[in-house]
Amino acid sequence: MAKKKKGKRTVRAVFRKRYDGRTRKKDFTREFADDADGLEKESSGERVSGKGKLTRKRTVAGATSDEEQAGFQIDLQVDPELCRQGRVLRVHGLTSIVQAGDDQYECTVRGILKSLATELQHVVVAGDSVTIQLQAEGTDANQAVIVRVEPRRNFISRTSRQRQQIIVSNVDQVFIVSSAAEPTLKPNLVDRLLVSAEKAGIRPVVVINKVDLVDPADLQPVVGVWAQLGYGVLLTSTETGLGIERLRNWVTGKDSVVTGQSGVGKSSLLNAIEPGLQLRVGVVSSENSKGRHTTTAASLIALADGGHLIDTPGIRSFQLWDVIPEEVGGYFRDIRPFINDCRFPDCTHTHEEDCNVKWAVADGKLDARRYESYCQMRENDF
């Protein structure tokens, strides 16, 4: 049987709602008083088929796939002769810097991509693989338009203003950086980032920086639990050089993202790993021991020995995205083995009496701090 040939078809795509006025006019009396003759031009009826200017759906031309390939690929009618494949280095407002081969381009995003009804706060993020269309001859050679965002193989995201904010995409590992002091270590924030990495299927590594400011033995109760769960844990200090060479070996040849709260020394670690970056660093406030934002946008940096590092702005809160309460325990490596032995299948592991998770905490099989982190995550996020 002959294969079905590719052909054109259309699909109805939902778009983000535009800012229109009232859907129906309600001030005819005022208009009549001002211009009675003008009302003769008004429509005597309205469409109810959703085809008017207020509709949130548009017809997009596409191409059908072969019988062996399921799905439908939307054709945005781009000129293949002017298109190149690239990767987003950083995003500044409406402009994205894209690396395509040996060249960098300042790109805007095609309007149809920004209008798509989506829960994303930003359409394009650092790390994205994109298709850009170069400008026609006679225009700025460094200007281009992003016409397609390729499917992401993974991403780190959080909830921001009731919408999904993707921090970075297409990475092999995430380095969750915290500090032993100035600012103080926040284990619960690290746990939230660990859950996000587990959900995304990205290898997490916990980095405790500024260990020269404390006695390393004081970190053992917290750090030891993460290490026993199989997470990579690394103690570092940019002042003494502790752990820098090991960290450099871990990032070589891989795409890694560095995230954590402000003031923990993320940019300082990157400067130590890759001499010559000269990333801007700040100081921690002496009044409240909180860091100040020195990195304003996520930036993808190519390493001399291979691989990429993505420096991200500091975060002070991290609310999970697209995780229902019943799923939280499954993303905790230490809680997951005890869940199925609870008496009730819908056990929340917070207030029930016959709860195997709570028994594990009482028997010392489950770390009490990690359990408290789980309870706070359920309560604060939901």
Domain boundary among 155, 190, 209: 155
Q: CATH no. for residue 286?
A: 3.40.50.300
pLDDT number for residue 122: 84
Let me know whether 175 and 281 are in one domain: yes
Q: Which of 2-16, 210-224, 268-282, 312-326 has the highest mean pLDDT?
A: 210-224
Q: Hey, is 95 helix, strand or coil?
A: strand
| Nearest to 100, CA basis, from 83, 121, 124 | 83
Domain of residue 179: give its range.
Answer: 171-311
Is 193 contained in some domain? yes
Structural domains counted in the chain:
3
- pLDDT at residue 366 is higher than 70: yes
Distance CA 339, CA 113 (A): 42
Asked if residue 1 is part of any domain, the answer here is: no
**pLDDT (tens digit per residue) in 245-257:** 999 999 999 999 9
Query: 332 and 287: one domain?
Result: no
Task: Give the global pTM.
Answer: 0.79
Q: Is residue 197 part of a domain?
A: yes
Burial of 215 (0-12, 13-18, 19+ CB in 10 A): exposed
- Tell me: do 115 and 177 sit in the same domain: no
> Is residue 229 included in any domain, yes or no?
yes
The reply to whether 6 falls in a domain is: no
Residues 151 and 208 in one domain: no
Say how far apart CA 103 and CA 108 lie, in whole Å.
Answer: 16
pLDDT at residue 359 tops 80:
yes
Q: Are 185 and 166 in contact (CB under 8 A)?
A: no
What is the mean pLDDT of the segment spanning 99-105? 94
Higher pLDDT, 224 or 16: 224
Which tokens belong to 375? 């309870």
Q: How far is CA 74 from the centre of its chain?
A: 24
Clarify whether residues 236 and 294 are in a common domain: yes
Neighbours of 323 (CB within 10 A): 19
- Per DSSP, what are the bridge partners of residue 169? 155
- Residue 194: pLDDT above 90? yes
Least confident of 20-24, 160-164, 343-347: 20-24
Query: Would you say residue 66 has pLDDT above 50?
Result: no
- For residues 223 and 270, membership in a common domain is answered with yes
Q: Is the pLDDT of residue 104 over 60?
A: yes
Q: How high is the pLDDT of residue 381? A: 67
Predicted confidence at residue 119, as pLDDT, reads 73
Least confident of 132-146, 191-205, 255-269: 132-146
Taking residue 1's Cβ as centre, other Cβ atoms within 10 Å add up to 4
The span from the first CA to the last CA of the chain, in angstroms, equals 54
Q: Which residue do the tokens 């670690």 mark?
A: 269
Average pLDDT over residues 195-204: 96
Query: Which domain-ending residue is among 288, 311, 334?
Result: 311
**pLDDT band at 67; cut points 50, 70, 90:** very low
pLDDT band at 73 (very low <50, low <70, confident <90, very high): very low
Nearest-angstrom CA–CA distance, 98 and 85: 9
Above pLDDT 70, what percent of the chain? 74
Q: Are residues 243 and 345 in the same domain?
A: no
Which residue among 263, 287, 311 closes a domain?
A: 311
CB count within 10 Å of CB 167 equals: 24
Contacts of 15 (CB under 8 A, 6+ apart): 56, 57, 58, 115, 116, 117
Kindly list the distances between the CA atom of residue 92 and the CA atoms of 107, 261, 326, 330, in Å, as whole numbers in the listed order: 10, 21, 37, 36
Looking at the chain, the whole-number percentage of residues with pLDDT higher than 90 is 54
Indicate whether 247 belongs to any domain: yes
Alpha-carbon gap, residue 272 to 225, rounded angstroms: 28
CA gap 153, 176 in Å, rounded:
20
What pLDDT is recorded for position 8?
Answer: 53
Q: Provide the token pair at 258.
A: 């560095």
42 residue type, one letter: E
150 lies in the same domain as 196: no
Q: Would residue 44 count as lying in a domain?
A: no
pLDDT at res. 32? 63
Q: What is the C-alpha to C-alpha distance for residues 248 and 236, in angstroms, rounded to an integer?
A: 11
d(CA 253, CA 172): 10
Looking at residue 370, which CATH number applies to its domain? Answer: 1.10.40.50
Please tell me whether residues 183 and 283 are part of one structural domain: yes
Residues 122 and 195 in one domain: no
CA 151 from chain centre, in angstroms, equals 14
Are 291 and 330 in a shared domain?
A: no
Buried b (16+ CB within 10 A) or exposed e, 198-213: bbbebbbbbbbbbbbe
Residue 285: DSSP 8-state: -
What is residue 361's predicted lDDT score, i.e. its pLDDT?
A: 97
- If one counts every other C-beta atom within 10 angstroms of the C-beta of residue 190, the result is 24
Residues 263 and 373 in one domain: no
The secondary structure of residue 172, as a DSSP letter, is S
Mean of the pLDDT values across residues 291-310? 80
Give the CATH number for residue 118. Answer: 2.40.50.140
Q: Which pLDDT belongs to residue 40?
A: 61
Give CA angle at 166 (165, 169), nearest 5°.
175
Structure tokens at 231: 């997470």
Cβ neighbours of residue 332 closer than 8 Å, sequence gap 6 or more: 191, 195, 370, 374
Q: Which residues of 237-257 are buried (b: 16+ CB within 10 A; e: fewer)?
A: bbeeebbbeebeebbeeebbb
Residue 228 contacts residue 147 (beta carbons within 8 Å): no
The crossing angle, in degrees rounded to 10, of helices 266-273 and 244-251 is 80
131 domain residue, yes or no: yes
